[in-house]
Amino acid sequence: MALANRSDVSPAFSLPSILAVVAAIVSFKAGAFLGTLLAIAAIVLGLLGALLAISPRVRGGMISILSIVAGVIGIVAAVFKLVF
């Protein structure tokens, strides 16, 4: 019985990268305070997902970077919601 090589296993998305995308999307729909919190969570989870994506077994580096950018845009949108 032969064991599968590690290269045969397809890489999976990391949980933080998926949660970062969800938090970034929801931050646009939420109010100013909750939107800011979710945008910050998206940035933190995106950074964690990007760090995990360094491993060859984990995917999601580009998704994590996009969620960081979306988190920054979410903070700007939350500030606009607060002001206007």
> What confidence tens digit (pLDDT) does each residue in 5-64 have?
555 566 778 899 899 999 999 999 989 999 999 999 999 999 999 998 888 888 888 888
- At residue 24, the pLDDT reads 93
The mean pLDDT of 56-75, rounded to a whole number, is 89
pLDDT of 3 above 80? no
pTM: 0.82
pLDDT tens, residue by residue, 4-15: 555 556 677 889
- Which residues fall within 8 angstroms of residue 25, CB to CB, at 6 or more apart? 70
